A and B are shown apart, each in its own frame.
Chain A
Amino acid sequence: MSNLPGLYNYWIAVCLMMAGFYIVISHGNLVKKLVGLALFQTSVFIFYISLGKVADGDAPIVTPGVTLYSNPLPHVLILTAIVVGVATTAVGLALVVRIYEAYGSVEEDEIQVLDGADDDANEGTTSLEETPEADRQ
């Protein structure tokens, strides 16, 4: 318990992760949701990078006279994850743009209302098509 303050790196990551999580579940705007997701993502990056840190270590680039390096493995994983992250975020943004073009809104609840209206309209048309069948019988 004495060295409990050494855990603060995890706590920062948890706080940021929860902030991102909160945006994702409580906000209806799809762009804001993507920002929240990106926030969530960076918190995971911070978690990984802080795992790789060695006290008094140096950046993992071999230099004469330095013997202690931080762990390069998390750095590699996160480096590629950041670039993959921006690519996947871009896919999300592209989807948002298409949703906006189809619905005229990026608010989740409005889209659901529009979807419900669409379904009702479809039911209406199918029932109209079915009625002549029923008449003939």
Chain B
Amino acid sequence: MVLIAIAAIRLRDLFAVVILFGVYSLMTAVLFMDLDAVDVAFTEAAVGAGVTTVLMLSTLHLTGRWERRPRHSPMLSLLVVTVTGAALIYGTLDAPRLGDPEAPVHQHVAPRYLEQGPTEVGMPNLVTAVLASYRGYDTFGETVVIFTAGVAVLLLLGIREGPQTKAGRSAIGDQIVLRVVVKALLPLILLYGLYVQFHGDFGAGGGFQAGVIFATGFVLYDLVFGEGDARLVVPPRWLHRLAALGVLLYGGVGLWSLFDGKAFLDYSALAHDPVHGQHLGVLLVELGVGITVFSIVLAIFFALSGRGRRA
């Protein structure tokens, strides 16, 4: 991984840099898997290796592939980086060892989540339980951040209708093998997205991953069958509304519990049985997250890909 990072510094072909970064992300996902973070590995694989690469490639298409040779000498920056790195490594000398169960991180609230989580929230996947229930406020904040970022991109670029968005024209030409493969894979990808969305309580997965996987399916369709066809399936003007709907759904669950006399996002207001309420609440909240992430990722892709090269 360090090697890939160094290669990325040296190369001036930005196309190669972006592809290397995709490989790097995939390796990071494998590393996360090894460190027991299955949900995170899942997200990294879908986001880093999938969405980020496509978005960066779309930008490169607009701005050009080659980097210029830097004019000033790299020695000063090299010095700054070495000094900072040495200071950071010196700082780690007192840090807890990898895998130490006595490390301070494992002492505060984590034991409570691990011991009480299964009975209080009633779902096996503790990451989902912490994400949507214990830390529901944070996740609401994150969803709003994603929504805001999407709005910012749309304000900066807007989704344009151009000659390349006509139905039946694809960015990579008419590739029969790709068409057949994508046609076979697409239903599976979308089905898997739905599975990840609604099975997040039990196995790895949840709204964030599902939203990204679902959007990746559409991006793939777009790349192979042409922008126009993808836009017929999901009209861009729906995407703003969908994104807002996701945030509203999340916030609405919070307000519902508020009107019921409970705290904001207290899911026990949703059903008579608190554990049942938790289930319903987490399901709705994850659905809100999924809808927002899906529509924002797709809207960003449409905004970047629909922009023609400047004449």
A residues with a Cβ closer than 8 A to B are 3-4, 6-12, 14-23, 25-29, 31-32, 34-35, 38-39, 42, 45-46, 49-63, 68-76, 78-91, 93-98, 100-101, 104, 106-107, 109
Contact = CB atoms under 8 A, between A and B. Distances in A.
A109 B70 CA distance: 9
Interface residues of B, number: 100
Nearest to B212: A83
Contacts of A31: 14, 56, 59-60, 63, 67
A95 B63 CA distance: 12
A71 B101 CA distance: 9
A14 B91 CA distance: 11
A17 B113 contact: no
Given A8-B98, A11-B92, A52 B35 contact: yes
Contact of A82 (B24, B44, B211, B300): B44
Contacts, number: 284
By secondary structure, the A interface counts as: helix
Contact of B8 (A10, A39, A82): A39
Contact of A91 (B17, B74, B106, B149): B149
Nearest to A109: B71
A90 B300 contact: yes
Contacts of A106: 63-64
Nearest to B155: A94
A62 B121 CA distance: 12
B35 A35 contact: no
Contacts of B131: 76, 79-80
